Structure 1
Amino acid sequence: MTLISTSLRFDYSYSKIWSWLSKNTNGIDDFSRLFFTIVGIFAVFWYTWMYIKSKNKGKPPSPPGPRGLPLVGSLPFLQPDLHSYFAELARTYGPVVKLQLGSKLGILVTSPSAAREVLKDQDIVFANRDVPVAGMLLTGGRDIVWNPYGPEWRMLRKVCVLKMLSNATLDKVYSLRRREVRETVGYMHSTAGSPVNVGEQMFLTILNVVTSMLWGGTVEGDARASLGAEFRHVISEVTEILGLPNISDFFPVLAPLDLQGLIKRIGKPLERLNGIVDKIIDQRLNAEREIGSTAGNFKDFLQFLLQLKDEEDSKTPMTMNHIKALLLDMVVGGSETSSNSIEFTLAEVINKPEVMRKAQQELEEVVGKDKIVEEAHIHKLPYLLAIMKESLRLHPALPLLVPHSPSEDCSVGGYCIPKGCRVFVNAWAIHRDPSVWENPLEFNPDRFLNSKWDFSGSDFNYFPFGSGRRICAGMAMAERMVLYSIATLLHSFDWKVPEGMKLDLSEKFGIVLKLKNPLVAVPTPRLSNTALYE
């Protein structure tokens, strides 16, 4: 029996009773009318509840979780460091937790087996995103991070992974990475003995590498140098806000009001950033109109994307909005994540002098003290790779990855996961699981020597770059940049914290994890030949 037919029969019976009472009692007083109305409404709700219950019979139960408050759910109880707060909830309720966040439902996944179900076994189902307001403001949701799974996303992914960030392409632009890293080493050598803000310097290094790859031939001189400060301000604001709980995301009907002022806070910087990107694209288009296309000579990624846009035989054409979104993805995503990983890694190494000595010994054996580190040396430095892996175990760049959203109702860990909810995979907590990792809070690169763990995302005890279709598109670039930078910094300098200061490894949560207090350290040159610092 369907709900509609049941309700119609009840309505008919109710009207017959009402008609009989009206004729035989000379009318019903107001109280009686109210009474029968309430009874009728209650009956409709009861039939509806019974119908829904019968339809849900046999479905998996909802995951356990904190009860929360009416309307707002658990929003008032969220803590600033969401990754550690979510880990606490998992210890209380289990590996799959339900968390009501306003009108949105959040699902917390905190075990290797549950992560495998989300990222591998049901990869296509969970390949979509629940785009936050800040993400829409940044790229309109048209970029590779927030675009829903489908032909458009596959086109962007193919362009990034197979063309722009392939190993062959990265080999071609090694000279750009080398130039920027050598300039940073030269700067640090000039300030030897004085404290250096490591994160700030590495951010500018990575930013210069990324912008050189994207549009290196477009902006030169003072104009190019001025981009660093502007981009850093905007990128820091964007990544911080993307990681903050935003009322507009949990109550979409309230989004136009911007009750927290987060959209207003990044509105002007984003406008400036979009203005810079628009200007760079316009300059390139004007130059090509004046001197003609240089299709035969690969100059930078912007030129490649503009040429791709002009191809008419593509099933899913590249648009100018796609180009802008990809450029912003690489600038925002590439700079902040890689520079933070370098900063965390160097901080952990400084905190463990024996690790620094062992890494420097390996560098001396492979490179020597009369040469500089080249990327060709990296594959001969297994201990250095183990240092990077251990740093990313403790401090994954995206501690909760980028939240997934199922395209249909499904189940994970024996629990019902409804379509459209927001799924947080807590890689940070899984990487610290004491049932998998011995002394999980200790920085110990030796655990990765001769180990099976890599960055492929195939082992769900360790997946710092994610897994499945949505695995980080810039993984190859990040691995090269972080390893090359750390190798160069440790080969060129000894490092220590300034006198009277204490090294602080506390984390600050955001969609991108960073040190709570920036790493300030003193470099001391190790190489006797000053020409090696030029």
Structure 2
Amino acid sequence: MLYSIISALNVQTVLIGLLVVLVVYKLRQRWKYNMPPGPFCWPLIGSYEVIQAKYLHEIFGKFTQKYGPVFTVSLGPYQTVVLNDINSVTEALVKSKADFANRPSIHSVDVLTEGGKDIAFANYTPTWKLHRKIAGKALRQYLAGNHLEKVLHDSMNKCLPLMAKEKGAFNPENYIDLMVFNILNAVCFGESVELDDPEFVNFMKMDKDATEMVGKGFVEDMFPIMYKIWTTNKYRTVIKMFDEIISLVKRKFQEHDKTFNSDNIRDFTDSLILARKEAEQEENEEMLSQLSDTHLRQTILDIFSAGIDTSRITLYFAVRYMAGLPEIQSKVQEEIDRVVGKDRLPGIKDREKLSYTEATLHEAMRLGTAAPVGVPHSTLCDTKVGGYDVPKDTMVMINHWALHHDPNYWKDVEKFDPTRFLDENGKLGMKPESWLPFSAGRRVCLGETVAKPELHLIFATIMQRFKITLPEGTDPELKLGGSGGVTMPATYEVIITDRIKT
């Protein structure tokens, strides 16, 4: 009994000691650095308001009103500087060169990326820069031909007739999922599937479940000691899902590696293998030796899995907005009918003439930001932003939602208005300064060159084929679903009318 009491007191003493050390450390940082202001945060736990918030972008918006566009908040043990306006974001990501180009060390991310061997989450190192260079070259090689348009048309020709069979109100998510999966599956692996394909059904279930759970974060990352003594069922479930997804990509990559033929480049995986082989003739051998097959697999996973996530959610938003905005939908369809007609599918070359259609998609991406707080950055050195100090190894988050809803840059900010993106001649104008769905600077999204034409052609093809309406009695205003760092429309149903009878 006495031993138990003494042990309990010892544990309590250690915990109190740790809290004191953390408080002193944070106070020393405040004294040493002129850090941005922010709310009170508990040691280890961080901000109670953040823990309780449904969406990170919303609580960050609330803090902005009190502390300004640059503030400090603790997310568990991670002291984080959050940037909420385009001036501070441009200063950090573009003007400060590589100061903000690193990624924070988060255990769960390290596990999911097989030791930080991907491009999206890996640290900013010479190996990463070579990895990114090879991946970028592979994408350019793949996009140089007509591969993307062909896989887009193949997918839409398979999916749209299935969707056209729907009578009455239905949830369009499964069809959007199939369109996006088939396109990215063909881009990465040269393969196509059916709606009831077991691999597709299993992957999408895992992907959606994992996205929801990862979006809410892991308790283990707040209290890293839990990785050593006990992990939650949620964490173990996500790890199991990702192990399956990684195994799938590994198997497909190995099949491509065995059958590779430089005279017959079928997909992005082939282009990536070719780019690595070409790099062997051009790059430093010692540096190349650090790039393993795991790095290449993780590159494919970045394009495949992350591409599916952002694309499907963006299209959920776009279709839902069109269903509730019949006047804008009609303008989109009038433009498509005039430029493309109804006898063929929209193609890559039509994109520059479908300005209103693309502007409508951009507005859906603004109001319905799929990744509202993006991927966190970390500072490589002591630096500054917004007049404040930011110490080395500080996590930095970009509130893309705040950029896209900033009344200083967007008139009638909550109004859906595609003309924001058009010039005086009705053509797609320069990118608005505070529109940043793919981030910027040295960590700009690798898949942007695929995502933009992919999303445009999927959206244009859906609009060409169907008139989309909401069931009678449905509130036309879009409601948000998701949680944490992931947003999407709340589950909805639509009714479609086939505009092209086949």
- What interval of TM-score do these two structures reach, taking the shorter chain for normalisation? 0.7 to 0.9
Aligned to 2:176: 202
Aligned to 2:151: 176
**Shift in CA distance, 144/108, structure 1 to aligned 2, threshold 3 Å:** same
Residues 228-253 of structure 1, C-alpha deviations (whole Å, 9 max, x = no match): 11221222233333322323223333
Q: Distance in 1 between matches of 2:461 and 2:175?
A: 14
Q: Distance in 1 between matches of 2:80 and 2:30?
A: 21
Aligned to 1:398: 371
Other structure's SS at 2:37 match: coil
Aligned to 1:12: none
Matched, 1:419 2:392: yes
Instruction: Trace 1:53-72 onto structure 2 (pairs within 5 A).
Output: 61-72=34-45
Kindly tell me the number of residue pairs found equivalent between the two proteins.
Answer: 468
Aligned to 2:85: 111
Instruction: Confirm or deny: 8 A CA contact 1:345 1:388 kept in the other structure.
Output: yes
Matched, 1:162 2:137: yes
Aligned to 1:294: 261
Instruction: Confirm or deny: 8 A CA contact 1:165 1:477 kept in the other structure.
Output: no
Other structure's SS at 2:378 match: coil
Aligned to 1:150: 125
Matched, 1:212 2:179: no
**Aligned counterpart for 2:452 among listed residues 479, 504, 507:** 479
Q: Distance in 2 between matches of 1:223 and 1:349?
A: 24
Aligned to 2:315: 342
Q: Which runs of 5+ in 1 are unaligned?
A: 1-44
Residues 41-97 of structure 1, C-alpha deviations (whole Å, 9 max, x = no match): xxxx9xxx9xx98x998x652211111234423146421211111111111111111
Matched, 1:227 2:202: no
Aligned to 1:240: 212
| Residue type of the alignment partner of 2:107 | V
**Shift in CA distance, 474/502, structure 1 to aligned 2, threshold 3 Å:** same
| Residue type of the alignment partner of 1:399 | P
- Cα offset for 1:161? 2.4
| Residue type of the alignment partner of 2:110 | M
Matched, 1:84 2:84: no
Aligned to 1:249: 221
Q: Distance in 1 between matches of 2:353 and 2:194?
A: 39
**Shift in CA distance, 107/469, structure 1 to aligned 2, threshold 3 Å:** same
| Residue type of the alignment partner of 1:207 | F
Instruction: Confirm or deny: 8 A CA contact 2:83 2:399 kept in the other structure.
Output: yes
Aligned to 1:267: 239
**Shift in CA distance, 496/170, structure 1 to aligned 2, threshold 3 Å:** farther
Instruction: Trace 1:277-356 onto structure 2 (pairs within 5 A).
Output: 277-286=249-258, 288=259, 293-309=260-276, 312-313=280-281, 314-315=283-284, 316-317=287-288, 318-356=291-329
Q: Distance in 2 between matches of 1:223 and 1:195?
A: 19
Q: Distance in 2 between matches of 1:223 and 1:437?
A: 40
Aligned to 1:506: 479
Instruction: Confirm or deny: 8 A CA contact 1:116 1:460 kept in the other structure.
Output: no
Other structure's SS at 1:173 match: helix
Q: Distance in 1 between matches of 2:368 and 2:445?
A: 16
| Residue type of the alignment partner of 2:385 | V
Q: CA RMSD in A?
A: 2.9
Aligned to 2:113: 139
Matched, 1:461 2:434: yes
Aligned to 1:7: none
| Residue type of the alignment partner of 2:199 | L
Matched, 1:496 2:469: yes
| Residue type of the alignment partner of 1:323 | L
Instruction: Confirm or deny: 8 A CA contact 1:455 1:463 kept in the other structure.
Output: no
| Residue type of the alignment partner of 2:86 | P
- Cα offset for 1:366? 1.2
**Aligned counterpart for 1:125 among listed residues 67, 75, 99:** 99
Instruction: Confirm or deny: 8 A CA contact 1:144 1:156 kept in the other structure.
Output: yes
Q: Which has the larger radius of gyration?
A: 1
| Residue type of the alignment partner of 2:177 | F
Instruction: Confirm or deny: 8 A CA contact 1:142 1:322 kept in the other structure.
Output: yes
Q: Distance in 1 between matches of 2:235 and 2:306?
A: 19
**Shift in CA distance, 444/307, structure 1 to aligned 2, threshold 3 Å:** closer
Q: Distance in 1 between matches of 2:469 and 2:248?
A: 38
Q: Distance in 1 between matches of 2:400 and 2:343?
A: 41
- Cα offset for 1:222? 8.0
Q: Distance in 2 between matches of 1:157 and 1:302?
A: 15
Aligned to 2:17: none
Instruction: Confirm or deny: 8 A CA contact 2:142 2:268 kept in the other structure.
Output: no
Instruction: Confirm or deny: 8 A CA contact 2:55 2:485 kept in the other structure.
Output: no
| Residue type of the alignment partner of 2:209 | E
Q: Which runs of 5+ in 2 are unaligned?
A: 1-19
Instruction: Confirm or deny: 8 A CA contact 1:135 1:242 kept in the other structure.
Output: no
Bigger Cα displacement from structure 2, 100-109 vs 382-391: 100-109
**Shift in CA distance, 422/300, structure 1 to aligned 2, threshold 3 Å:** same
Q: Distance in 2 between matches of 1:236 and 1:221?
A: 18
| Residue type of the alignment partner of 1:177 | L
**Shift in CA distance, 89/186, structure 1 to aligned 2, threshold 3 Å:** same
Instruction: Confirm or deny: 8 A CA contact 2:50 2:56 kept in the other structure.
Output: no
Q: Distance in 2 between matches of 1:157 and 1:224?
A: 35
**Aligned counterpart for 2:414 among listed residues 427, 438, 441:** 441
Q: Distance in 1 between matches of 2:467 and 2:195?
A: 34
Aligned to 1:378: 351
